[in-house]
Amino acid sequence: MKKLSLIVMSLSHMFIDIYNNVLPVLLPLFVLQFSLSYTQVGLVVALFSISSSLVQPIFGFISDRWRTNWFLPGGILGVSILASLLGLAPNYSFLMVAIGLMGISSAIFHPRGLTSASLASGERRGLGVSIFTLGGNIGFALGPILAAFVVLHWGLRGTVFLLIPGIIITALTFYLRRHFYLVPQRELRTEKEHPFSQLPLSEFLVLCSLVTLRAWAVQGIVAFLPLYLQNREVPLHMAGNLLSAFLFSGAVAGLLGGYLSDILGRKAVMSSSLFLFTPLMFLFLQSTGKLSMVFLILAGTMLLTSAPLSFVMAHEMMPSNIGLASGLIMGLAFGMGGLGVGVTGMIADRLGLGFSMTILSLLPLLAALMTFLLKERRATLAPANPIPRSD
């Protein structure tokens, strides 16, 4: 296991996902400023999910075959610039364009980052990928806190200050780039010319469907939880803190889930965590006060425990094309999950936000049932080599 590579990649992942999750706290302010419906809110989230996801297989395919030294710092810089412009949006159309470009910048980063983390993990892929995912989950949890702090002190236009840490981490990632540009040894990649020749297609589609349902639940809760809590008369800054607690608990649990999966198996950890989420989320919806907060944090723990495992399972299905596997799982599956958020917004407009939250609570239960259609495997990835510096 290449520890320094994993630390650098996890840190980079943390910062890019901080920016990726400032939107939920900003959405209630955009609702007031532009008089948005729940459907329009859902479309904003769906656009970001789609633009940040559907092109990821392309970038993953490229990263399997050519040097992509600029993908990581370039992706971070693009996301930070566009996130800083969100509060300056003069209208809904400008907001949508900025969100779309921000999503593409995020798509540039993720397959390259996940590929490097997986190859740097050696035989402890569950733990290594979990360390990379931990950084993203911590960033995702810190995003609402940072956004709430900015708008509380400087208003919506205060998002311009988000550019400062983005420039710093871009420079740091570029300076340390030699530590994480890893690729599989080309002579060992038997699937290089035909990446789908040995792919268990039906099983891979099941995995994509499972990840789609889980991503739909995660993205839907992230998008609508602050609005749901506001309807329960929870202040905006408190709603942002609760969302961060939900995500941070899952970040820590994801690391534990990856470690346990190396010992107990991927399927056992994934199925049990997804099964437990639904009753905990229902208890949150039916309770109030501090007890409801406890149930929400426990639900986040269960929902996000399985996040790293889906990536590892995809890599073990496509061991010689893990960049492409990363892009397919993170891209197609999460993109479809984003489309589901748009559907959630439409349901909320017609049947109420509480009903939509109930639907989101049931989706991981269906995903848990799908785990029984997957096989347990421990494929060996091709060894990792550093790419010679080209600059």
**Chain segment 16-32, per-residue pLDDT in tens:** 888 888 887 888 888 88
* Residue keyed to tokens 């749901």: 228
Helix, strand or coil for residue 386? Answer: strand
Mean pLDDT of the chain: 80
Q: What are the φ and ψ backbone dihedral angles of 124, each rounded to 5 degrees?
A: -100, 55
Of residues 11 and 379, more confidently modeled: 11
How high is the pLDDT of residue 180? 55
Report the C-alpha gap between 46 and 35 in whole angstroms.
18
What is the average per-residue pLDDT within 106-120? 80
Are the C-beta atoms of residues 51 and 99 closer than 8 Å to each other?
A: yes
Q: What is the pLDDT of residue 187?
A: 37
Give yes or no for residue 383 having a pLDDT over 70.
no
Confidence of residue 98 (pLDDT cuts 50, 70, 90): very high
pLDDT exceeds cutoff 50 at 291: yes
With beta carbons less than 8 A apart as the criterion, state whether 210 and 223 touch.
no
Cα–Cα dist 184/224, whole Å: 40
- Is there a contact between 379 and 118 (Cβ–Cβ < 8 Å)? no
- Residues 332-356: tens digit of each pLDDT: 666 777 778 878 888 888 888 889 9
Asked whether the CA dihedral 303, 304, 309, 311 is positive or negative, the reply is: positive
Q: What percent of the chain has pLDDT over 70?
A: 86
Listed in sequence order, the residues at least 6 apart from 314 whose beta carbon sits closer than 8 Å to its beta carbon are 204, 207, 322, 325, 326, 328, 329
- Specify the pLDDT at position 36: 83
Domain range summary for the chain, segments of one domain joined by + = 3-185+198-378
* DSSP assignment letter at 185: -
Q: What share of the chain has pLDDT > 90, as a percent?
A: 15
Q: Can you read off the two tokens belonging to residue 314?
A: 């995809």
C-alpha 87/C-alpha 75 separation (Å) is 20
Higher pLDDT, 301 or 377: 301
pTM of the shown model: 0.70
User: Out of 102-116, 189-203, 324-338, which region has the weakest mean confidence (pLDDT)?
Assistant: 189-203
Q: Is 250 helix (H, G, I), strand (E, B) or coil?
A: helix
Distance CA 64, CA 93 (A): 36
Beta bridge partners of 384: 184
Q: What span, in angstroms and rounded, lies between the C-alpha atoms of 335 and 216?
A: 9
47/79 Cα distance (integer angstroms): 15
Beta bridge partners of 182: 386
Show the CA angle centred on residue 63, arms to residues 59 and 69, nearest 5°. 105
Pick the range with the lowest mean pLDDT from 67-76, 119-128, 192-201, 265-274.
Answer: 192-201
Distances (CA, A) of 292 to 152, 276, 289: 25, 16, 6
Is 189 in a helix, a strand, or coil?
coil
| CA pair distance 71, 110, nearest whole angstrom | 9
Q: Higher pLDDT residue, 175 or 84?
A: 84
**Average pLDDT estimate for 42-46:** 81
CA distances (Å), origin 106, targets 55, 169, 222, 354: 10, 15, 17, 31
Q: How far apart are CA 389 and CA 179, in angstroms?
A: 10
Distances from the Cα of 94 to the Cαs of 18, 98, 387, in angstroms?
21, 6, 39
H-type alpha helices, 121-189: 125-154, 163-175
For 3-185+198-378, give the CATH class.
Answer: mainly alpha
Q: What residues contact residue 175 under an 8 Å CB cut-off, 6+ apart? A: none
Using CB atoms within 10 Å of the CB of residue 71, give its burial: 0 to 12 exposed, 13 to 18 middle, 19+ buried: buried
pLDDT at 382: 47
Q: Is residue 94 pLDDT above 90, yes or no?
A: yes
